Amino acid sequence: MKQNTEIEAAVFRRLLEHLDAHKEVQNIDLMILADFCRNCLAKWYQAASEEHGDAIDYEAARELVYGMPYGDWKEQFQTKASVEQLTALEARNK
């Protein structure tokens, strides 16, 4: 079981590295295609930390996922959602 946990942790770190290397992929793109985004990962991280008795707050979890404070990431890398993206997200959420 310990090996599984280590493998899962390594996969999670690799996912974060991949997302960090592809900042051009916006959260709305992830939501449209996969129904989750970086913020979802942070919420899941926060929930898991609470379940394991080592609770961290949402902003700290987002900083782990984004690799920097969320406000900094948003300012540097987030683009305004296009009409097409908003339409696609709305269609997905119906």
* pLDDT tens digits, one per residue of 56-91: 999 999 999 999 999 999 999 999 999 999 999 999
**Structure tokens, 14:** 């690799």
Tell me the whole-structure pTM to 2 decimals.
0.91
Say whether pLDDT at 1 is over 90.
no
Architecture in CATH for domain 2-92: Orthogonal Bundle (1.10)
Return the closest-CA partner of residue 78 out of 44, 33, 40, 28. Answer: 28
What would the two tokens of residue 64 be? 């782990």
